[in-house]
A and B are shown apart, each in its own frame.
Chain A
Amino acid sequence: MELSLDRLTKQYGRKIAVDCVSATLKPGVYGLLGANGAGKTTLMRMLCAVLESTSGEVLLDGKEITSMGADYRNVLGYLPQDFGYYPNYTAVEFLMYIAALKGIPKNVAKKRVTELLEVVDLSHVANKKVKTFSGGMKQRVGIAQALLNNPKILILDEPTAGLDPKERVRFRNLLSEYAGDKIVILSTHIVSDIEAIADEVLLMKKGKFVLQGTVPELIHKANGKVWELSVSPQEARQWQTKTTVANLRHEGKEIILRIISDNMPSERAVPCEATLEDLYLFYFSTEEGVK
């Protein structure tokens, strides 16, 4: 199975949301990493055939997905970023409804819904209305609905948003187990989630893939760009305004800054091991006021 993105472009008026993106995705977990507005959601919506591209195409095993229609939707599972639900439905009713929309026979759906509610740890509230759920619980209902048809292509837009640390770990494990011979694409800006489960990371900026590779490969690219520097509290403020500071911790009267920089920021700076978060900050330091 191969999902190919061929010069995929989406333009809204004069704004280019996704700019001539190409990639070939084979079974595995792909982490789509990028700042808000980088074009992740637009790209995912095009991959789901919910949004028509301005140019370019998405092919599944050589077939254009929009022309595949129901055949493509049959192998697709999607959790939208702004996941909506019917407030008066219980978790079971909602999942049974989506199962019917997905064309799953009722008896199969019943079994699958029970299984999935167990998997996402919602069995105990299966008959409670979704509107009474917390944000994290709603998100887990969303994850369950995406998995209902056992999709070969699973697209999850910000799946860990609203999940507490325990739920996130549970979700990561679920996804790792699930992936196998499937293509899983998840977008997030929670770098640690990607670091933990993605086989390959696609770093997106201003509608383009700026980097692509496995987590170790990408981390390797960030090596030599991460420094630690011990400064006084007064100096710390100055450093924060002139460089990208990834972290700041107190050690006695001194403050240890973790600085992301192409060059050694100071003679006193010490090079240190990079993480994916460092790489993210290196590319997006100017995007969201990280500096």
Chain B
Amino acid sequence: MELFWLEHKKLWRKKIVKICVLLCFVYCVIFGSILSFQWFGFGSSDDYTSAFGNNFDGYTVIKDSQEYALSFGGELTDETLQKIVSNYQQMEADGMEEELEKTDWQIVNSWLGTLYPELRDTSNYKTMISYVDPDKLTGFYERRQQVLDEFLEVSGQVGAEKEFLHQIERKVEKPFRYEWVEGWSTLLGSMVADLGVVMALFLGIVLSSLFAGEWHDNTSTLVLTTRNGWGKIALAKILTGLAFTVELFALLAVSSVISQLFFMGTAGWNMPIQNIKLIAVAPMNMLQAEIYEYAFVLLGAIGFAGIVMFISAAVKNNVLTLLLSLAVVYGPMMIAEYLPYEMQKALDLIPLVGSSTDIFRTNTFRILGKLIWSPYLLITIPVLIGILCMPFAIKSWSRRMKA
């Protein structure tokens, strides 16, 4: 235990570690969460040139939007949708530009585009919500079912796979609960989902020197000739790598959640995720989805840490370790689109390569003839890969040290 604390202290003493943690915090929490909520994500539009031209009033806009959405009764029915659309059109006709910002128009527009394609007027430059006839917006849930069926057919998900996905979907409660969706959409669609990609970069920088750094500092011989030897120290290093990963995650996640609670509160936590993406099949509400996404990031980060530590133990050079570690994540991301679909899905199982937003999708894996919904594997396989790498890291380090 003492060795672990010493290794842990040693890691945190490095200037590069402090800089990385600070940058990661600034990027993910200050920019990605706080400023995004208050300024460029939800601030009211001012000069309309870019999101950075928004006013610094996101908090008020969010509160107004939440209040406005609640005025529709909290349940999504044909009548609710018609009311939302007609209210929007009325405000637009009255020139209430500022009031329009508190509506969920982007989300509602995506529903209209998905469920009522025949109402689209390609000659009209305006968004659908501005011109569709509210009275024609009927059969919301029947149309949704039909769109889901068509999507599965087009995706080649037929027979047993289609039935499997329908079984999952049947557990989704209808009618959907409806409150302000836009905030949750941004939160689950990008804020939390992007956390892993950013963490990968900084974890790579910090952990690449965990083992390889002993060669860089020329201390490997010293370590080898001490009573505890390489074995116990390697174990202490592995635990240090894991602890750092959890600490970095906790710092980002806790700060982001505090920021989220401050700006959004808990309103809408029990809405189904189908409000964000209509054809999602997962019977999850927003809170469950958020927990899944954070778990995905944490487990993926632990998996990635295992890989980085293995590379660090096998390669003597810090820079080479970093490049190889980053290639493990960003390489598959770059080449995935050029590969066959099945291979893309397999690459998604590499830690932090896949996306937590798979909970909105209908991807499945067939393993030993059994169908498994992809989010289950995306959350378990990466961490298993990382854990598997850890004994190999110890073994590699011992081989390198003795060489």
Contact = CB atoms under 8 A, between A and B. Distances in A.
A149 interface: yes
A97 B10 CA distance: 9
Interface residues of A, number: 30
A101 B237 CA distance: 13
A28 to B, nearest CB: 21
Nearest to A76: B225
Contact of B229 (A45, A69, A83): A69
B17 to A, nearest CB: 10
Interface in B1-45: 2-3, 6, 10, 13-15
Nearest to A74: B227
B226 A101 contact: yes
Residue of B2, B224, B226 with most partner-chain A CB within 10 A:
B226
A50 B224 contact: yes
B226 A73 contact: yes
B217 A85 contact: yes
Contact of A86 (B3, B217, B229): B217
Nearest to A148: B226
Contacts of A162: none
Given A52-B402, A88-B14, A70 B227 contact: yes
Contacts, number: 76
Contact of A84 (B218, B225, B402): B218
A101 B221 contact: no
Contacts of B226: 73, 98, 101-103
Interface in A30-86: 45, 48-52, 69-70, 73-74, 76, 78, 80, 82-86
A70 to B, nearest CB: 5
B5 to A, nearest CB: 9
Nearest to A84: B218
A97 B2 CA distance: 10
A84 B13 contact: no
A101 B227 contact: yes
A88 B13 contact: yes
Given A78-B222, A80-B222, A101 B217 contact: no
A80 B221 contact: yes
B266 interface: no
Interface string B250-270: 000000000000000000000
A84 B6 contact: no
A84 B219 contact: yes
B343 interface: no
A161 interface: no
B223 interface: yes
Contacts of A88: 13-15
Nearest to A106: B2
A19 B228 CA distance: 31
B393 interface: no
Contact of B228 (A76, A87, A101, A106): A101
B399 to A, nearest CB: 11
B400 to A, nearest CB: 12
A102 B228 contact: yes
A103 B1 CA distance: 12
Nearest to A80: B221
Contacts of B3: 100-101
B227 A149 contact: yes
A145 B225 contact: no
A16 to B, nearest CB: 18
Contacts of A82: 218, 221
A283 interface: no
Contact of B225 (A78, A86, A100): A78
Which of B223, B225, B233 has the most CB atoms of chain A within a 10 A radius of its CB?
A: B225
A100 B223 CA distance: 11
B217 A84 contact: yes
A73 B231 CA distance: 13
Given A50-B224, A78-B222, A73 B217 contact: no
Interface in B43-60: none
Contacts of A80: 218, 221-222
A102 B227 contact: yes
A284 interface: no
B219 A45 contact: no
A232 to B, nearest CB: 50
A89 interface: yes
B228 to A, nearest CB: 5
Given A100-B2, A100-B3, A85 B227 contact: no
A89 to B, nearest CB: 7
Contacts of B233: 101
A109 to B, nearest CB: 10
Instruction: For the complex of A and B, list the 5 residue pairs with the smallest distance between their C-beta atoms, beginning with the closest.
Output: A84-B218, A101-B226, A103-B227, A84-B219, A80-B221
Interface of A: 45, 48-52, 69-70, 73-74, 76, 78, 80, 82-89, 97-98, 100-103, 106, 145, 149
Given A51-B402, A78-B222, 4 more contacts: A50-B221, A73-B226, A84-B222, A89-B10
11 contacts: A50-B225, A52-B402, A83-B222, A86-B217, A86-B219, A89-B13, A101-B222, A102-B226, A103-B227, A103-B228, A106-B2
